[in-house]
Amino acid sequence: MALRVHRFPLPWLLVPVLLGAVPVHAAEPVALEVGRLTLQRCEGVPGFCGTLPRALDPSGALPGTVPVYFEYYPHRAPGPAAGTLVAAEGGPGSPSTDSRAEYLELFEPLRADHDVLLMDYRGTGRSGAVDCPALQNAPQLTEALIGECGRALGRRAPLYSTTLAADDLAELLEALGIARISLYGDSYGTYFSQVFALRHPTRVRALVIDGAYPLSGPDYAWYPHYAPAVRQRFNRACERAAPCRALPGSSMEHIAPALAQLRSAPVAAQVRLADTQLLDFMAGPSQLALVMYGGYPRYATVRETDAAARAYAAGDHAPLLRLMAEALLSQDSRDATHSPRLFSAGLAAAVSCQDPPQIFDMNRPVAARLLERERLITQRRAQFPEHYAPFTLDEYRGMPLDWTFIDQCVRWPNVPGVTLPLVHAPEAYPDLPVLVVSGEFDTVDSAADGAAAAARWPAAHHVVIANGLHVNALAHARSACGAQLVRRFLAELTTGDDRCAAAAPPMRLVGRFVRRAEELEPVSALEGNEAGPSLLRAVSAALLSAEDAVTRAREDPSGTRLGLRGGRYSLASAGEGTDIELQKVRWTEDLEVSGQVHWPGRGGTVHAMLTLEGAAQGTLSAEWPEDDPEGLARIDGRLDGRRVRAEAPAP
């Protein structure tokens, strides 16, 4: 575990997900007695809010309290609740209550007879968010800034451990009169949830950990599953997509020539993703590593990296440089204001540097630790040169600290009398009902990490969602299967028939990036078509232009972006989907595509009305199933005065 991005990778996504304002009707109570606490109706949220003062230091050595903020959503049906559902957010550094919309959606089918409780961990959100201003506002993480934050926290630093946050939840349950809970955690929330279940097993009816990793394990601090998960992600995605599978070799072999070029001749890159977003960076192996290891933007990275690397090796740099720029933006978990209440970089550092083991001994002085690091790095480089393949250890370490993990905490200061790590995994875990959910293509918390976590719990059931990415039970997941299984397990303590996990659809990959429409395969003519091969190639380019925007709408349905080679498109939420307005978007250099595209969300049909200029002139209507790898696009329209009726594999 380290300073990790949770789920929302790009800065335009890093805004708290809030429910719309909910009016309070006269008949509805404005206060609620729960246990020994009186809760007040939340402003703009359909629940009740409260704060439980907790001692900052349970030993009493340091004075002060932490205001542990929580939200309580009572069940709707008459009579007593069947149970209480609790959700634990990822991070570390993010407050659980800012993801209330996602958690309430996950729990919705159970809310008639289940209460829901959300708590901000101490040091996050409204629970006294830790603020290390220099770290919170810095352009990027550095070892020195992380160390400075630790020195500023001083003796308070160990008091923000996951251990004490877990004890806060136990005390909150006691105050609310809640005997047992069904606990769902995602990403870092899986770490918190496991710590809670180990410290307070009698409080846990059921435990679900989604995007899980173990509390400890062999070679833990070196992230032994990270590189294998990266290689597996791209190789398997390629094997399951016909255009990529038809090429000789594995995806790693397809990417290798671009990596070799980046090693021999790094490129000074300048990429504009939006009118106000211009990134200058040196494109080298570490930037490609960030694309592949960081895995953000989630869908686009899997869909495009293989083809973008092949294009780069052939001299077309734009697609891969765009992925690098998007990945560089994705590393930052802060919102645009850098508010510690929305994401606390200081809390993230305190948890990451104190709770899990590091490659070096955190109980040694910083100077000795720096020497130890160099010795261990030299040793690892010699003994395990392929540990982070296809990248070298030095190329891996060249990624931002947000993703390399192993160097982050080398300058974190010692606290007298405190022995690290602060979280210790026992030899024997309690026999609790546990569901572990992993995404097959998750690189951050891989399926192998999930298996290692599941192996510690005697009654654990591990489900791997085929083709799944990071966190698979919440709304952004590619398949509804994860949510279905989690709900069933929370209700019945079994997933029952979980064959849907293997049925989640493969991703459609970009077959190739091209500069001119004439380099593409033409779509297939249907009866009544009058357009020749050149125009049908332009249709292929138009479909790919539209799907390029849809791919990024999956990450965030708002804002304005620039097309790959020119033009722009704007995104606006539309129910569960997104409306996309294209303005002279150029996926190829010789074709401008304008018009409207509606992406309906997961599993629906994309509808597009497109106007083409350049390599072809005219209008097209098209539709295709978004999550069906074998689906077909149907196209109708007129180009250069000729009727177009055609079909093609969905782009």
CATH classification at residue 166:
3.40.50.1820
State whether 180 and 296 are in the same domain: no
Q: Compute how many other C-beta atoms are within 10 angstroms of the C-beta atom of residue 630.
A: 11
186 and 61 housed in the same domain: yes
Q: Is there a single domain that holds both residue 485 and residue 522?
A: no
Asked whether residue 528 falls in the same domain as residue 490, the answer is no
Number of domains observed in the structure of the chain: 3
- Can you tell me the distance from the alpha carbon of 574 to that of 378, in angstroms, rounded to the nearest whole number? 53
User: Are residue 427 and residue 534 in the same domain, yes or no?
Assistant: no
With CA atoms as reference, report the closest residue to 1 among 338, 491, 613, 422. Answer: 422
**One domain for residues 470 and 548:** no
How far apart (Å, rounded) are the C-alpha atoms in residues 195 and 215? 8
Would you state the pLDDT for residue 5? 42
Cα 478 from Cα 484, distance rounded (Å): 13
Q: Are residues 494 and 540 in the same domain?
A: no
3-class DSSP state of 15: coil
What pLDDT does residue 9 have?
34
pLDDT at residue 3, rounded to an integer: 42
Contact between 432 and 457 (Cβ < 8 Å): yes
pLDDT of residue 17: 34
pTM of the shown model: 0.94
* Residues 176 and 305 grouped into a single domain: no
Quote the DSSP letter at residue 584.
E
Do 125 and 70 sit in the same domain of this protein? yes
Q: Which residues contact 140 (CB under 8 A, 6 or more apart)?
A: 331, 332, 400, 401, 402
In this predicted model, what pLDDT tens digit does every residue of 509-527 receive, in sequence order?
999 999 999 999 999 999 9
pLDDT of residue 378: 98
Q: Give pLDDT, residue 8.
A: 34
Can you give the residue range of the structural domain that contains 292?
247-330
- In this prediction, residue 76 carries a pLDDT of 96
Whole-number pLDDT of residue 601: 87
Kindly state whether residues 37 and 97 are assigned to the same domain: yes
Which residues, given as ranges, of the chain have pLDDT below 70? 1-27
Q: What is the pLDDT of residue 627?
A: 83
Instruction: Measure the CA–CA gap between 224 and 449, rounded to whole angstroms.
Output: 9
Same domain, 213 and 273: no
Spatial separation of the C-alpha atoms in residues 238 and 310, rounded to whole Å: 13
Task: Please name the residues in contact with 144: beta carbons below 8 A apart, sequence gap of 6 or more.
Answer: 411
Same domain, 189 and 291: no
